[in-house]
């Protein structure tokens, strides 16, 4: 899948690069929001920003009302890690900021499998997936 083949959604709020995103169920359109802690993600936001980095420009992948490319199941991409980081083959879920953290409890929504080891704040390669963790 190439960048142009990725599904396009409309951001219904500010979405930062390399974060888990979820459907915005408050509206009927194909809109997404940054995922919160333990929410069911549909994918991971694109790596780039909506504007070239410069003083005063947005560092968001998309702002409210703007189109956003989303990496979906099977589309290897980057994910920013939250507290605790990740190890290779670790199961990752969303934290309160849409960052990837370890999924360790039953029934948690797993949104990605780590393909690299990394620490909080790093962006690592992951494989987006979607399932509920079971023991």
Per residue in 90-119, pLDDT tens? 999 999 999 999 999 999 999 999 999 999
What is the model's pLDDT at position 6?
63
pLDDT at 133 over 80: yes
What is the model's pLDDT at position 104?
93
Over residues 66-83, the pLDDT tens digits come to 999 999 999 999 999 999
Over residues 17-57, the pLDDT tens digits come to 999 999 998 876 789 999 999 999 999 999 988 765 554 56
Minimal CA–CA distance to 15: which of 43, 38, 52, 40? 43
Once rounded to an integer, what is the mean pLDDT over residues 7-25? 92
Domain ranges of the chain: 77-132
Q: Give yes or no for a contact between 50 and 59, defined as CB atoms under 8 angstroms apart.
A: no
Residues in a beta bridge with 44? 20, 71
Number of residues in the chain:
135
Rounded Cα–Cα distance for residues 82 and 72 (Å): 20
Q: What separation in angstroms does the CA of 2 have from each of 24, 57, 99, 103?
A: 25, 27, 24, 29
Tokens of 6: 């990725």
């Amino acid at each position: 899948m190439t960048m142009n083949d990725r599904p396009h959604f409309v951001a219904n709020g500010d979405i930062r690069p390399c974060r888990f995103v979820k459907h915005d169920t408050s509206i009927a359109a194909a809109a997404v929001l940054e995922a919160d802690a333990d929410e069911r993600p549909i994918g991971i936001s694109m790596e780039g920003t909506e504007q070239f980095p410069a003083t005063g420009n947005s560092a968001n992948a998309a702002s409210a009302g703007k189109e956003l490319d989303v990496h979906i199941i099977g589309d290897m991409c980057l994910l920013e890690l939250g507290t605790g980081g990740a190890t290779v083959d670790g199961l990752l879920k969303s934290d309160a900021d849409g960052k990837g953290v370890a999924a360790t409890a039953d029934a948690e929504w797993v949104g990605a499998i780590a393909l690299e080891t990394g620490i909080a704040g790093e962006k690592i390669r992951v494989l987006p997936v979607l399932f509920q963790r079971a023991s």
